[in-house]
Amino acid sequence: MNLTDEQQQILCGAKGEFLATCMRWLVEWGDAMGAQRLVPVANTHALVTVPGNLVYGAGDKPLERSLDLLHAVCQHQVCGHCTTHITFAHEEQYAEIDMPSEQVEAQQQVMQAASEAGFLMTHTCAPYLVGNVPLKGEVCAWTESSAVVYANSILGARTTRHGTESALAASILGVVPEFGVLLDENRLATLQIDVTTPLRTPTDWGALGYFTGRAAGLEVPVLHGTPQPTQEDAKQLCAALASGGGVTLCHIAAVTPEAPTLEQALGGRHPQRQLTFGDQERRAAYAELRTHTDDCIDTVILGCPHASLHEVAEVARHLKGKRLAPGVTMWVCLAYATRANAERLGFARTIIDAGGYLFCDTCPTNSMRLEATRMVTPSFKQAHYARGMIGVEVIVDNLRGCLAAAVSGRWHDGQ
Ligand code: F3S
């Protein structure tokens, strides 16, 4: 990779050992990916997952490693518009959940360190819902796969899929290696998905994303024939694209800012592959994440990625004057900023009165020991990971189906 004199000096330790290490991470990553240079970045989103690691195990001393890293970062100023998502429950919620004391302590230490480093702690996997909304063409360094796909595909910003170390390094060095979707030529679609079945709910968009992610792997797909998505549709689509496969960018013809037409998404070329997402494929996607052996459910997880205010309002409307079935626990995961709005608008009270939890700034799968046997969720991503990470039986269904199950204690297939 071609480095400027200043970058070369930092790499050689002119500004201290830690910045040299950060530069080495970016340079080695760039070299491995074929980058020619480092380019400026002023919008980063770093994910710190220490507590989740504590719960589920992630090798040797994950807490110490993360804290050392953050304390080193905090000796430097973050540059530009840098937010962070630390996956832990908001401190007001410690009493509500089964959270080990070492996890509480870890969360507080990590939050303090990140704050001192200068990060704006939005504490959400959906930073675009609470103020970090990059513009078309803006180079970013974001972690969290669903947010990365959203930034590239819906906002037209440009970010490769970052890990914690690279996003933190980019936050203090202000550069990223230029490869992948940062370059025009790698943003053209090669796989065309013709959508021939109606997409009626955000969960149907999740089914499309799961199918497309599976088919695409690391390719750039373009979706053709879809209706205009809502923000909630787009959120489910992007999360499922990144959990069904390793997608970084997916064009939606006439929606993605740089793809006003199918032809422009493909760069005027024929697609290398063309598949159809029809009724059969939609049903198959749902069937893959319905692993239940019985219709009785005990857990409902909403807000993956974190719920928008619209989703919270819809949940409240459905639950007004109702109660969750005995033995059913319902989590609505969301950013603190969204919960504050929901409280002010009365939605939070309605959901709590019905027996639900508004769970900010993380999600049960990521940061607590979830005791669950059978879960319903409208999120393909949540179902995909909960199945593997906590070994729970999962049922993915649209929001109405999930809420009906929450109230009756039984899930019925309304499709
Ligand atoms: Fe967010 Fe948890 Fe889903 S961090 S994307 S709600 S798995």
The pLDDT tens digits of the residues spanning 133-153 come to 999 999 999 999 999 999 999
Q: Are residues 171 and 193 in the same domain?
A: no
Q: Is 384 in the pocket of ligand 1 (CB under 6 A)?
A: no
Residue of 125, 144, 387, 396 to mutate, ligand 1, most atoms within 8 A of C-beta: 125
Statement: residue 254 has pLDDT above 90: yes
Statement: residue 377 has pLDDT above 90: yes
Q: Are residues 361 and 310 in the same domain?
A: yes
Q: Are residues 228 and 248 in the same domain?
A: yes
Residue that is written with structure tokens 């230029």 in the block: 178
Last residue of a domain, one of 288, 314, 335: 288
pLDDT at 381: 96
Query: Domain limits at 86?
Result: 5-179
Nearest CA to ligand 1 atom 1: 305
Q: Is 333 in the pocket of ligand 1 (CB under 6 A)?
A: yes
pLDDT at 53: 47
3-class DSSP state of 322: coil
Q: Are residues 197 and 175 in the same domain?
A: no
pTM over 0.85: yes
Nearest CA to ligand 1 atom 6: 304
Statement: residue 38 has pLDDT above 70: yes
Residue 29 lies in a domain: yes
pLDDT band at 226 (very low <50, low <70, confident <90, very high): very high
Q: Is 145 in the pocket of ligand 1 (CB under 6 A)?
A: no
Q: Are residues 26 and 168 in the same domain?
A: yes
Q: Are residues 41 and 136 in the same domain?
A: yes
Is the pLDDT higher at 110 or at 244? 244
Do the Cβ atoms of 303 and 332 come closer than 8 Å? yes
Cα(143) to ligand 1 centroid in Å equals 12
Statement: residue 55 has pLDDT above 90: no
Tell me the average pLDDT across 36-57. 74
pLDDT at 351: 98
pLDDT band at 69 (very low <50, low <70, confident <90, very high): confident
Total structural domains within the chain? 3
Residue 101 lies in a domain: yes
How does the average pLDDT of the chain come out, rounded?
Answer: 90
The token pair at 182 is: 């940062």
Q: What would the pLDDT profile of 195-207 be if each residue is shown by its tens digit?
A: 999 999 999 999 9
Q: How far is CA 390 from the centre of its chain?
A: 18
pLDDT at 56: 46
Q: Is 146 in the pocket of ligand 1 (CB under 6 A)?
A: yes
Statement: residue 90 has pLDDT above 70: no
Nearest CA to ligand 1 atom 2: 363
How does strand 175-177 pair with strand 38-40?
A: antiparallel
**Nearest by Cα to 132 from 157, 169, 162, 161:** 157
Q: Are residues 320 and 220 in the same domain?
A: no
Q: CA 210, 213, 216 angle in degrees (round to 5)?
A: 150
Q: Are residues 21 and 157 in the same domain?
A: yes
Q: Is 304 in the pocket of ligand 1 (CB under 6 A)?
A: yes
Cα(304) to ligand 1 centroid in Å equals 5
Q: Is 382 in the pocket of ligand 1 (CB under 6 A)?
A: yes
